[in-house]
A and B are shown apart, each in its own frame.
Chain A
Amino acid sequence: MGLDVKPLSTLHDKASFEVADFDVPTGREEEWRFTPLRRLRGLHNGTAEEGGKVLLEAEAPPEVTVETVGRDDARLGRAYVPSDRVSAQAWNSFTQATVVTVPKEAVASAPTVLRLRGEDASAAAYGHTTVIVEPFAEATVVLTHRGSATYADNVEFVVGDGARLSVISLADWSDDGVHVSHQHARLGRDARFVSHNVTLGGDVVRISPSVSYEGPGGDAELYGVYFVDGGQHLEHRLLVDHAVPNCRSRVDYRGALQDQDAHAVWIGDVIIRAEAEGTDTYELNRNLVLTDGTRVDSVPNLEILTGEVAGAGHASASGRLDDEHLFYLQARGITFDQARRMIVRGFLGQLVERIEVVEVREKVREAIEAELDRGAD
Chain B
Amino acid sequence: MATLEIRDLHVSVGDGSDGAKEILRGVDLTVQAGETHAIMGPNGSGKSTLAYAVAGHPKYEVTSGTVTLDGEDVLDMTVDERARAGLFLAMQYPVEVPGVSVSNFLRSAVTAVRGEAPKLREFSKDMKQAMENLSIDPAFAQRSLNEGFSGGEKKRHEILQLEMLKPKVAVLDETDSGLDVDALKVVAEGVNRFASGDTGVLLITHYTRILRYVKPDFVHVFAGGRVVAEGGPELADELEEQGYEKYVKAGASL
Residues of A within 8 A of B (CB): 322-325, 327-336, 338-339, 342-343, 345-350
- B97 and A330 contact, CB distance less than 8 A: no
CB distance from A337 to the nearest CB of B (A): 10
B164 to A, closest residue via Cβ: A332
Residues on B with beta carbons closer than 8 Å to the beta carbon of A332: 80, 83, 105, 108-109, 112-113, 161, 165
- B144 and A336 contact, CB distance less than 8 A: no
- B95 and A334 contact, CB distance less than 8 A: no
Residues on A with beta carbons closer than 8 Å to the beta carbon of B109: 329, 332-334
- B55 and A338 contact, CB distance less than 8 A: no
Asked whether A346 and B112 contact (CB < 8 A) given A323-B58, A325-B95, the answer is no
- B99 and A346 contact, CB distance less than 8 A: yes
Q: Which of A322, A325, A328, A333 lies in contact with B113, CB distance below 8 A?
A: A333
Highest count of chain B CB atoms <10 Å: which of A323, A324, A329, A332: A332
Residues on B with beta carbons closer than 8 Å to the beta carbon of A334: 80, 83, 108-109, 112
Give 5 nearest A-B pairs by CB, closest first.
Answer: A346-B99, A333-B112, A333-B83, A332-B109, A330-B79
Q: Does B84 contact A (CB under 8 A)?
A: yes
B97 to A, closest residue via Cβ: A325
Q: How far is the CA of A357 from the CA of B84 in the complex (A)?
A: 39
Q: List 14 A-B contacts (CB under 8 A).
A: A323-B58, A324-B95, A325-B95, A327-B58, A328-B94, A328-B95, A331-B83, A332-B105, A342-B97, A342-B100, A343-B100, A346-B100, A349-B99, A350-B98
Q: How far is the CA of A338 from the CA of B113 in the complex (A)?
A: 13
Q: Does B249 contact A (CB under 8 A)?
A: no
Chain A contact surface mostly: helix
Q: How far is the CA of A159 from the CA of B95 in the complex (A)?
A: 42
- B84 and A322 contact, CB distance less than 8 A: no
Residues on B with beta carbons closer than 8 Å to the beta carbon of A331: 55-56, 79-80, 82-83, 88-89, 91
Interface size on B, residues (CB 8 A): 28
Q: Which of B88, B108, B113 lies in contact with A342, CB distance below 8 A?
A: B108
Residues on B with beta carbons closer than 8 Å to the beta carbon of A342: 97, 100, 104-105, 108
- B108 and A338 contact, CB distance less than 8 A: yes
Q: How far is the CA of A120 from the CA of B167 in the complex (A)?
A: 58
Q: How far is the CA of A330 from the CA of B144 in the complex (A)?
A: 17
Residues on A with beta carbons closer than 8 Å to the beta carbon of B56: 331
Q: Does B128 contact A (CB under 8 A)?
A: no
Q: Which of A335, A343, A348 lies in contact with B80, CB distance below 8 A?
A: A335
- A322 and B55 contact, CB distance less than 8 A: no
A336 to B, closest residue via Cβ: B80
Q: Does B78 contact A (CB under 8 A)?
A: yes
Additional 13 contacts, C-beta under 8 A, given A332-B165, A333-B113: A324-B95, A325-B97, A328-B91, A329-B97, A329-B100, A329-B108, A333-B112, A334-B80, A334-B109, A338-B112, A346-B97, A347-B98, A350-B99
Residues on A with beta carbons closer than 8 Å to the beta carbon of B57: 327
Residues on B with beta carbons closer than 8 Å to the beta carbon of A333: 80, 83-84, 109, 112-113, 165
CB distance from B163 to the nearest CB of A (A): 13
CB distance from A198 to the nearest CB of B (A): 16
A322 to B, closest residue via Cβ: B95
- B108 and A346 contact, CB distance less than 8 A: no
- A330 and B95 contact, CB distance less than 8 A: no
B87 to A, closest residue via Cβ: A331
